[in-house]
Amino acid sequence: MKTVRNSILFAIALLALFSSVFAYVINVSVSDVDYAAPSKLPGTKVQVLSGNTVVYEKTTDKYGNALFNLSAGTYFVRLNRSFYPEQIIMYTVHVNETLNVKMNIKQTTYTLYGQVVDNPSSKWEGKLITVMDAQGQVFGGQNRIAQDGYYLIPYLYPGQTFQMKLEMADGQKFISAPFSFSSAGAYWLPLDLSRQTLANATPALSAPARSQLYAPIVAFVRAGDKPLANESVSVGTPDGALTMLTDANGAAPVYAASPGTYEFAWNGQSAKTVVEGAPQTAPPAANVSEDNGSQANASENATPSGAPAEEPAANLSNGTGAAASQDNGTVPMTAVIIGGIAAVIIVAVIALAAMGAWKMLGKKNDAWRPAGSREGEMPEKPQTGKREMGAGESGAGKGSESPPAHHVHHPGHAKHPAKHGHGKKQG
């Protein structure tokens, strides 16, 4: 009887041990983030990590699922798929369930995950871990450290500089060194307090990794979250070296006047900011407009005597230089020349066509006119005995030399006066 009882107890203990190792079935279901019509993503690589070590790895089936047998505990689940940013979540296993994970191909932020290592790490479980931006402001809310010191902070912007702050209930603070990552995805960043990779309020220099042209670049000197004022910060810029003093907020702002690398240095520490922008191929507007009198004299000296002076002022005022002004004027002048030539050709064609039409019309008019009315011919006398008046004549104009009407009606009268009783009287 005793033997049977011992056997049962042994079986129960073995079952409990087996259950503690492979206690829960977790189905990781992967789909696209499109909430309107989410689609499963088969062929996605799913990794289960303990810390930063991969303990299980599978690929989703045609339904987008991957099954894992996991013991109780906290894990990171990392997803990798072509054309998608890497994604990671922190998950604590305590029941059998389906873990729905959505991937976003348009994701623009990154997720930071890691582990707080201390002796013991368990003392940090449940404590707050906060991310601060370069201005010392809390960014992205507050997160709590999980079992075994694991933490995960999502939605951080690439290119920005951040620091993490750990704070105990007794007021003890730890500030991480500045960090920044350049693209979306997931990044592992352990915080090993046992090796003092985190310093308790250690002064540090920080600056953004990137900035825009013609915008201020602000570097900070802080001891944890305490700003340090009147600290001398040297800055190497594309235009030369500067020395700045931090203000009451620990800030040392520099104006990004030119593209290139701006390197800040303080107390043996350095930070770099890259300013992107198109390189200037012509002198800036300020250099062009510094001495208007010199430019006017130069243009006068370049103009021959008696020739019309050019007007470069309108082109130089935009700061682009003479080369840009010449390029801008080439196309309109060409268009004007081509348009003028075309207009001359059109006018010439119209004139030739008009002359031809005029000549044709003249020939038709000559054919239509009666005999004697053509150019160079004398008109025939009308048979009705009435004279038609031509252009420029009047019916009773002064100085009219028209012959008497009877001479017109009887042209033969003057040659034979005797026939009308004007000859000699016969006896």
Neighbour order of strands in the sheet with 128-132: 138-144, 128-132, 163-167, 173-175
pLDDT of residue 153 exceeding 70:
yes
pLDDT of residue 200 exceeding 90:
no
Residue 261 counted as domain residue: yes
Residues 6+ apart with CB under 8 A from 142: 128, 129, 130
Residue 302 counted as domain residue: no
* Mean pLDDT, rounded, for 198-216: 79
Question: Does 164 share its domain with 193?
Answer: yes
Cβ proximity of 192 and 165 under 8 Å: no
pLDDT of residue 73 exceeding 50:
yes
Question: Does 58 share its domain with 141?
Answer: no
Q: The domain that contains 270 carries what CATH number? A: 2.60.40
Residue 16 counted as domain residue: no
The last residue of one of the domains, among 248, 280, 312, is 280
Question: Does 76 share its domain with 58?
Answer: yes
Segment among 23-37, 63-77, 235-249 with least mean pLDDT: 23-37
Segment among 66-80, 191-205, 261-275 with least mean pLDDT: 191-205
More confident position, 194 or 85: 85
Residue 13 counted as domain residue: no
Q: pLDDT tens, 359-369?
A: 776 655 555 55
Question: Does 93 share its domain with 40?
Answer: yes
Beta bridge partners, 262, equal 273
Closest C-alpha among 42, 40, 74 to residue 55:
74
Structural domains counted in the chain = 3
**Confidence band for 10, pLDDT divided at 50, 70 and 90:** low
Question: Does 168 share its domain with 190?
Answer: yes
pLDDT of residue 174 exceeding 50:
yes
**Confidence band for 135, pLDDT divided at 50, 70 and 90:** confident
**Confidence band for 393, pLDDT divided at 50, 70 and 90:** very low
Highest mean pLDDT among 81-95, 213-227, 335-349, 410-424: 81-95
DSSP track, 235-276: EEETTEEEEEE--TTSEEEEE--SSEEEEEEETTEEEEEEEE
More confident position, 339 or 368: 339
Domain enclosing residue 95, as ranges: 22-107
More confident position, 412 or 266: 266
Q: The domain that contains 157 carries what CATH number? A: 2.60.40.1120
Residue 415 counted as domain residue: no
pLDDT of residue 72 exceeding 90:
yes
Q: To the nearest whole percent, how much of the chain has pLDDT over 70?
A: 61
